[in-house]
Structure 1
Amino acid sequence: MDINNIIIENIDNPHELERRFRKEPEAFVKSFSYAWEQNPDSQVLAVWYERLHFKETANNEKVFLLQKDFLSMGILAILAGISTRIILHFVELQAIAPVNLVFGVLPFIAVYFVFNNTPKKNILYILASLFLISVFYLNMLPLEQKDSIILAYLHLPIFLWTLLGLAFTGNEYGIGSARLAYLKFNGEFCILYASMAISGMLLAALTMQLFGFIGMDIEEFYFKNVVLFGAAALAIVAAYLVTRNLKLAKNIAPYIAKIFSPLVLATLLVYMIMVIWVGKNPFLDRDFLLSFNGILLSVLAVTIFSIAESGTDEKKSISDYINFALIVLVLIIDSVALSAIVFRLSSYGITPNRLAVLGVNILIWANLIWIMLSYMRFLQNKTGPSTIQDATTKYLPVYGLWAAFVTFTFPLIF
C-alpha cells in the first residue's frame, strides 16, 4: 500500500498520521497534496494543510525580516561612515567641536532601533527633537576651553546614551526588563565591537605595512578615509549582530562579568590599602581626587554590567556576594570622594567642575545605597533578584537628566 492510500485510510486516525509523518516526513509532505485533493472537505486534512504550509510561510517571513534588517543595517552603516567622515572634515577646519563625532554614530543606531521596533509617534517626536536640539545647541556654543563648555562636551554623550536607551526600549521604556535588556545590549555591544575592532586594527597595520614596502605612506589617508569610516560603520554592524541574538557576545558576556567582578574587587582592595599606606589625601590633592572619581565611575560600570548579566536566577551564587562586596567598597570610595568635594567647595568656593562632580557623586551615592539595600534583602531571602535589577534600571533616567542639566545649563550659568 503506498503512502497516499495510507493517509486517506487513516484520515480518522490522528495517531497513525502523526506516526507516519514522523517516520517519513518528506514522503508524507510530498504525498499529502494527493490526499488533500481527494478529500477537500476533511477537517483533519485541513488542519494538516495549515500545519504543513504555516511552517513554510513562517520561514519565508523570517527570511524576509532578516533581509529587511540586513538591508537597513547596511544603509545605516554606510550613512554613519560618510557622516563621520564629513564631521571630521569640519573638526579639522576647527569649525565645530570634536564631540560632534558622536552625531556620526549614535543617531544612526537610534534610527536602526526605531526601524526595527517602531514606537509610538510621541516617542519618535521626542527622539527626533532632542537629537536636533542637541546638535544645534552644541554648535551654538563658542569654541572655547572654558570649564563649563568642556563639561557640556563631556556630559552630552551620556545624555545621548539615554536617548539611545529610549529608542531601544520604545513603547516599553517604563518596563524594567526592557531597560535591563538595554544594559545587556551595551555590555554585549562593547565585547563584540572590541573583538571586531581588534581585527580591523590588525588589517589596518598590515595594509599600511604592505604599502610601506613599496614606498607609499598612506597612514593619514587610510586613517581618515578607511579606519574612521569603518569604525563608525562597525558600530551599526555590531548593534545589528547583538540585536540578532549573536551567540558569541551573549555567551561570553556572563563569563566576563563573573571573571571581572572578583578581579576588580581584589584590585580595589589592594589599591585602597596602598592609598592608606602611602598617605594619599583626596581632600588636598586635586589630581588624586579626579583619579578617585575615575575609578569610582569605572567600577560602577563594571558592577552594573555584572548585575545586568547575572540574570533572574533566584538561587544565590558566589557572584552575588562578590557583587555585594564590590558595591559596599564602591560606596565607601564614593563617600570619601563626596566628603572631599564638599570640603573643597566650602574651602575654595563654587566652580563648574566642583559642582558637576558633586552632583554626579550624590547621584551615584544614592544609587549605590538603593542597590546595596536591595542586595541585602535579596541575600536575606526577603526579595528576589528583580528588586536589584529595578534599583539598577529605574535610576538610569536620573543620570540622563543630570547630564542634560549640565550640558544645557552650565554654559549659560557659568
Structure 2
Amino acid sequence: MDNNNLVAEHIDNPHELERLYRNDPKVFKKLFSFAWEQHPESEVLRVWYERLHFKESTNTEKPPLLQKGFLFMGLLAILAGISSRIIFHFVEQESIAPINIAFGVIPFIAAYFVYKNRPKKGIIYSLAALFVISGVYINTLPLDYSDSIVLVYLHMPIFLWVVLGLAFTGNHFAKGNTRLAYIKFNLEFGILYASMAVSGMVLALLTLNLFSFVGLDIENFYFSNVVLFGAAALAVVAAYLVSMNLKLAKNITPYLAKIFSPLVLVTLVVYLITVIWVGKNPFLDRDFLIAFNGILLGVLAVTIFSVTENDTSKKKSISDYINVALIILALLIDSVALSAIVFRLSSYGITPNRLAVLGANILIWANLIWIMFSYIRFLRNKTGAPTIQDAVTKYLPIYGIWAAIVIFTFPIIF
C-alpha cells in the first residue's frame, strides 16, 4: 500500500500532509489508517492520530439534553418576559417612564452572566446595588420630559450597558481581553437577536392573518402580551446562545466589519462633500448639529467593531488603513461638532443638552485620538495590534462614568 499511499510517501513532510488533509479529509483518513499500521513509530503520524481521534476518545458521553445552564436560562427568559409585561402595564398607565422596560431585561441577562462566571461576592453585591439604586432613582424623578430628565433617560441605557459589562467580565473586569470579548459579544448578540426577531415578526404576521380569517382582531392583545414577552425573553436566549459560542454570529461578524468599514467611509466622504456643497452649517442649524453628532456616534461604533474584529495574529491589511481613514474622518466630524457646540454655548448660554453633548464629544474626541495614535504606531511597526484594542477597552468605563454623572447630577444641577 505504501507505493500508492500519499500519506506514507510524505510522512516526513508535515506541510504536504496538511495540504492533503485539507483537499479531502475522508480520503486522507483512509490513507492514514494504512500508513499508521505500517509506521506506528513515526512522531508525525502520532500527532496526526491524536488530531484525528481526539473527539472520539474524549467525548464518548453525550451531554444531557437539559443542562443546568439551559434550565436556568429558560427560567430567566420567562422572568424577563413576565417582568417586562408588568412594567409595560405601568408604562401604559403613565405611572412610570418607558425606560423602566430596560430593567425588565438587562438585570436578567446580568444574572445569567453571574451564574456562568461565578464572580466574587463583592462583584455580585455591587451589581445588585447598581441595579437597585438605578431603578429606584429613576422612579423618584419627576415624570416629565424636561431637558435634564430626558438626558437621564438617554444615558441610563449606556450606564446599564457598562454595568452589564461588569457582570460579563466578572472577576476579570480589569483585563483588556475580557472587555474586548464583551464588545464582540454585543456585536454577535445584535446579529443573532435581529435574526431571531425577523423570524418572530414573520410568525406574528402569520398568526394575525390566520386569526383574521376567522373574524378575530387580536392585534392589540398579541403585541401587548405575546410580542412584548417574546422580545424580552428572546434577549436572554440570545445572550445564552452567544455565550455558548454559536458559530453563526462568530463567523459573520469579521466579514461585516470588513464590508461595512469601506462602505461607511465612502458614504461619509460623499455625504460631507454634499454638505459643504449645499452649505449646511452646524453652527447655526441645531437639527443638523444633532444629525452630525449621530453620524459621529455611528462612525465611532463602526470603528470600534472594526478594531475589535481585527485578527491580532495576522499582518497589516487594507482594512487597517481603512480603519485609520475612518478614525481621521470621525475626528474631523467631532472637531467640527465640538466647535459648533462651544459656539452655541458662548452665544446662547448653558443648557443641560449643550453641556451633555459637549462632554460626550470631548470624551469621544479623546478616545479617537488615543485609537488613532495607537493605530499609527501599529502601522509603523512600533507596537502590536493589542495596543489598538487596549485603546478601545480601557476607555469603556469612562463612558459609563460620564453617563452616571449625567444621570445623577444633571437633574439636581438644572
Question: TM-score category by the smaller chain?
Answer: 0.7 to 0.9
For residue 347 of structure 1, what is the aligned residue in structure 2? 347
For residue 63 of structure 1, what is the aligned residue in structure 2? 63
For residue 21 of structure 2, what is the aligned residue in structure 1? none
For residue 199 of structure 2, what is the aligned residue in structure 1? 199
* Counterparts of residues 15-414 of structure 1 (less than 5 Å): 63=63, 67-414=67-414
| Aligned counterparts of 1:315 and 1:183: Cα–Cα separation in 2 | 22
**Per-residue deviation, 1:214:** 1.4
- Give the counterpart letter for 2:118 in structure 1: T
**Per-residue deviation, 1:225:** 0.9
**Per-residue deviation, 1:349:** 0.4
The count of residues paired between Structure 1 and Structure 2 equals 364
**Per-residue deviation, 1:299:** 1.3
**Per-residue deviation, 1:145:** 1.2
| Aligned counterparts of 2:413 and 2:64: Cα–Cα separation in 1 | 52
**Per-residue deviation, 1:313:** 2.6
- Give the counterpart letter for 1:212 in structure 2: S
Please give the root-mean-square deviation of Cα atoms over the aligned residues, in Å: 1.9
| Aligned counterparts of 1:313 and 1:362: Cα–Cα separation in 2 | 33
User: SS of the residue aligned with 2:63?
Assistant: helix
- Give the counterpart letter for 2:122 in structure 1: N
User: SS of the residue aligned with 1:382?
Assistant: coil
| Aligned counterparts of 1:79 and 1:87: Cα–Cα separation in 2 | 12
- Give the counterpart letter for 1:173 in structure 2: F
Contact 1:265–1:322 (CA under 8 A) maintained in structure 2 = yes
| Aligned counterparts of 2:291 and 2:224: Cα–Cα separation in 1 | 32
**Per-residue deviation, 1:63:** 2.6
User: SS of the residue aligned with 2:240?
Assistant: helix
**Per-residue deviation, 1:266:** 0.5
- In structure 1, runs of 5+ residues without a counterpart are 1-21, 24-51
- Give the counterpart letter for 1:346 in structure 2: S
For residue 17 of structure 2, what is the aligned residue in structure 1? none
**Per-residue deviation, 1:68:** 1.3
User: SS of the residue aligned with 2:145?
Assistant: coil
- Give the counterpart letter for 2:159 in structure 1: F
Contact 1:165–1:182 (CA under 8 A) maintained in structure 2 = yes
- Give the counterpart letter for 1:380 in structure 2: R
| Aligned counterparts of 1:303 and 1:336: Cα–Cα separation in 2 | 19
Classify 1:99/1:80 alpha carbon distance in 2 versus 1 (closer, same or farther; 3 Å): same
Superposition misfits of 4+ residues, deviation over 2 angstroms: 62-66
Can you list the C-alpha shifts for 1:55-101, whole angstroms capped at 9, x where unaligned? 67x766x8369711111110000000000000000000111000000
User: SS of the residue aligned with 1:140?
Assistant: coil
Contact 1:148–1:353 (CA under 8 A) maintained in structure 2 = yes
- In structure 2, runs of 5+ residues without a counterpart are 1-31, 34-53
- Give the counterpart letter for 1:310 in structure 2: N
Contact 1:314–1:385 (CA under 8 A) maintained in structure 2 = no
Moved more, 174-183 or 299-308: 299-308
| Aligned counterparts of 1:109 and 1:174: Cα–Cα separation in 2 | 20
For residue 19 of structure 1, what is the aligned residue in structure 2? none
**Per-residue deviation, 1:309:** 1.1
Contact 1:119–1:171 (CA under 8 A) maintained in structure 2 = yes
| Aligned counterparts of 2:175 and 2:60: Cα–Cα separation in 1 | 30
User: SS of the residue aligned with 2:315?
Assistant: coil
| Aligned counterparts of 2:66 and 2:391: Cα–Cα separation in 1 | 35
| Aligned counterparts of 1:349 and 1:125: Cα–Cα separation in 2 | 42
Classify 1:59/1:127 alpha carbon distance in 2 versus 1 (closer, same or farther; 3 Å): farther
Query: Identity over aligned residues, as a percent?
Result: 73
TM-score w.r.t. length of structure 1? 0.85
